[in-house]
Amino acid sequence: MGRIAYVNGRFVPHGDAVVHIEDRGYQFADAVYEVWALFDGRLADPEGHFARLERSLGELSIPMPMSRKALTLVLKEAVRRNRIREGLVYLQVSRGVAIRDHAFPTPGTPPSVVITVSRVDRAASEARAAKGVAVVTTPENRWGRCDIKTVGLLPNALAKQKARQAGAVEAWFVDELGLVTEGASSNAWIVDGDGILRTRDTNANILRGVTRLSLVTLAREAGLKVEERPFTPQEALEAREAFITGAGSLVLPVVKVDGKPVGDGTPGPVATKLRRLYIERAKATSV
């Protein structure tokens, strides 16, 4: 008998089990999961796993897709249909399906629920336990690889939602030294008091924005001084101008940071000119 998966209210053959391509778990890692050990067809440590599931969901403001009681029934039914007594039960709950946008979808979007059950060979795992296992060490870097354009975007999605709730369009991440790294989906720039364009250097843990790189060249060609040097949020407030860059935002003037105006609180001439230059260059060189 083949494996059976549970997907959003339906039990389906494992090979036919699919989620939507714009599921936020797939697009943003905007999802949580739990895994129960299964002994003689029964879920181990139920209280601990349910409590952690509720906590994880709560931390992400994802509603419990159903009551604990209902979920227990569904999990047990998945186990029963798979006819597995010794194994693992995997549950994933994502924020659901929505048009791709970092910020949360409209309230009421139903979470997606997926359950799979897999068999464990207890004899083999006991044999392994009897021998013991090896480990290796690795630097703690979860998640210290913002240079990779990965879909592991949960922190970015949470930051974007924070921005949206504050009536802002973008959130700037600030590192442990109090320096701006980049935006949730863009690179961050200022035009400082000396008229120098500043954006974070790529030695920092940031995405190497393609728009950022093109703009460094374009700005220098336009006779502007560019320094890949970090700035603080306070320096942004004291700057003449600020802006963000990205394939989505292009070159977008920033007029407020944390509710306070940058410069005179209107788009500045440098950002406005760079936006025009960037769009002109992009149009002329697009393939």
Per CB under 6 A, the list member of 187, 230, 267, 270 interacting with ligand PLP is 187
DSSP conformational letter for 23: B
The window from 29-37, 113-121, 205-213, 264-272 that contacts ligand PLP (CB under 6 A) reads 205-213
State which residue, 63 or 233, has the beta carbon closest to ligand PLP.
233
- Check if the beta carbon of residue 13 is closer than 8 Å to that of residue 2: yes
State which residue, 38 or 215, has the beta carbon closest to ligand PLP.
215
Instruction: Strands of the chain (E only): list them.
Output: 4-7, 10-13, 31-39, 42-43, 87-94, 112-119, 172-174, 180-183, 187-191, 197-199, 226-228, 241-246, 250-254, 256-257, 260-261
Q: Per CB under 6 A, does 82 bind ligand PLP?
A: no
Q: Per CB under 6 A, does 279 bind ligand PLP?
A: no
Q: Per CB under 6 A, does 181 bind ligand PLP?
A: no
State which residue, 12 or 174, has the beta carbon closest to ligand PLP.
174
DSSP-assigned beta bridge partners for residue 6:
11, 115
State which residue, 35 or 151, has the beta carbon closest to ligand PLP.
151
Question: In whole angstroms, how close is the CB of 245 to ligand PLP at the nearest point?
Answer: 6
- Find tokens 């209210």 and name the residue: 9
What is the rounded CA–CA span in Å between residue 218 and residue 46?
58
Catalytic residues: 149
Residues that bind ligand PLP (CB under 6 A): 156, 182, 185-187, 207, 209-212, 245-247
